[in-house]
Amino acid sequence: MTARELDAAGITDPSLRAAYTAGRLLNARHGKTYFLATRLLPVDRRSAVHALYGFARHADDIVDDLGSAASTGARREALDALERQWLRAVRGEEADEPVVRAVADTRARYGIAARHFTDFLASMRSDLSVTEYATYADLRAYMYGSAAVIGLQMTPVLGTVVPRAEAEPYAAELGVAFQLTNFLRDVGEDLDRGRVYLPQDLLSAHGVDRDLLAWSRLTGCRDARITSALRAASALTREVYRAAEPGIALLDPVSAPCVRTAFVLYRDILGAIEKDGYAVVHRRAVVRRRRRAAVALRGLTAALAARTPIRPSSGPARADGGVGRTSGNGRGSGSGLARGSRSSCGDGEAAPEEAGRVTGRRNEERG
């Protein structure tokens, strides 16, 4: 966490600043796409996003760290201990774990419902015993706690131009889209953990079962049935993205470019999977660095435009006798932008590192 971000958020207590910094480090280390998108937010909101991600990442690491020799029982005890700390922190008691202190502070600052965190921890706990899902409906029930609530946690931080309840279903759906993307990208790694997240009804419709996936993972051999099932899973995930996308327009315009960037980059993972021939059982598909940078640069341009105040110009007079105004993108200002505008771009940062490398090539790739 940079001092500028903490100062802008009004976080002054040294212990709390250290706790937020721990979340930021987790985000930077593990959530590369998410971290890049977060840098497009106004500086005063980034610490909250890092706190939310840090807590989720910490819980996920307890459950899923392949490098740990901890038994299932030990993982369950660690997760239970984390939840006890969380509940104490919600009551205003001191928590030992830095990511818990930070996320409890964020919850209080933004009025995030405590049940969203309880539901998340419940889904994490189910990962210790549930290794597959019979139907897509079953998987959706799991993803409510593991993914949809992340969108619900984020909504108060991002802000909306409509009543929050109107934007929340889209935020929840976007969380699901991101997680479905991760499930598809990580099929091979999840098999190593003994899990198959893709629903059994989808797989069986294409003649695929766990044994066939495990054989393919072990031997490195491809199978047309697996490719067909993965293609169907990708199409299903794209439908969820389409359902979630209208919600971006409901966000505070200074936050929308961050979410749009994450939306495009995560959806691009599907494109990378498709381009790689659905080889996710054997290797993880990645979005090219140059593409990530181009998307980030467009996001930065949109973010700066949203934070730039709209000033009167000498443009053509309107019918009501006023003077026409345009926003930073040259398309005119809507009421949402007017409500969300800031007097500066927040922290004076230059473009994110990846975006800066493609300034001269910004028009070569679009999407």
pLDDT band, very low/low/confident/very high, at 67 (cuts 50, 70, 90): low
* C-beta separation of 100 from 82 below 8 A: yes
Predicted confidence at residue 35, as pLDDT, reads 81
Structure tokens belonging to residue 115:
């049940």
pLDDT band, very low/low/confident/very high, at 304 (cuts 50, 70, 90): confident
CA distance 188 to 235: 19
Which candidate, 317, 234, 298, places its Cα nearest to that of 272? 234
pTM (predicted TM-score) = 0.81
Predicted confidence at residue 23, as pLDDT, reads 86
Q: Which amino acid is at 46?
A: R
Burial track 348-361 (b if 16+ CB lie within 10 A, e otherwise): eeebbebbebbeee
* C-beta separation of 47 from 22 below 8 A: no
What average pLDDT is seen over the chain? 84
Which candidate, 290, 329, 280, places its Cα nearest to that of 306? 329
CA distance 136 to 142: 10
Predicted confidence at residue 347, as pLDDT, reads 42
* C-beta separation of 273 from 185 below 8 A: yes
Predicted confidence at residue 278, as pLDDT, reads 97
Residue 250 buriedness (CB in 10 A; 0-12 / 13-18 / 19+): buried
Task: Tell me which residue has tokens 């409901």.
Answer: 250
Structure tokens belonging to residue 105:
């502070």
Pick from 31-40, 177-186, 296-305, 337-346: least confident:
337-346
Which candidate, 41, 18, 36, 25, places its Cα nearest to that of 347? 41
What are the pLDDT digits (tens) for 91-150?
989 888 999 999 999 999 999 999 999 999 999 999 999 999 999 999 999 999 999 999
Q: Which long-range contacts (CB under 8 A, 24 or more apart) does 25-33 make?
A: 25/54, 26/50, 26/53, 26/54, 26/57, 26/58, 26/99, 27/53, 27/54, 27/57, 30/57, 31/57, 33/262, 33/265, 33/266, 33/287, 33/292
Residue 33 clears pLDDT 90, i.e. is over it: no
Helix 256-275 with 289-307: angle, nearest 10 deg: 160
Structure tokens belonging to residue 154:
């984020």
Residue 367 clears pLDDT 50, i.e. is over it: no
Give the ranges where the chain is alpha helix by DSSP (H): 3-8, 14-30, 32-38, 43-64, 72-90, 98-110, 115-126, 136-143, 149-158, 164-185, 187-192, 200-204, 210-219, 224-244, 256-275, 289-307, 335-340, 353-356
Residue 366 clears pLDDT 60, i.e. is over it: no
Which candidate, 196, 336, 153, 353, places its Cα nearest to that of 257? 336
* C-beta separation of 36 from 46 below 8 A: no
Residue 27 clears pLDDT 90, i.e. is over it: no
What are the pLDDT digits (tens) for 231-270?
999 999 999 999 999 999 999 999 999 999 999 999 999 9
What are the pLDDT digits (tens) for 330-348?
333 333 323 333 333 334 3
* C-beta separation of 63 from 127 below 8 A: yes
* C-beta separation of 143 from 317 below 8 A: no
Predicted confidence at residue 311, as pLDDT, reads 55
Predicted confidence at residue 299, as pLDDT, reads 86
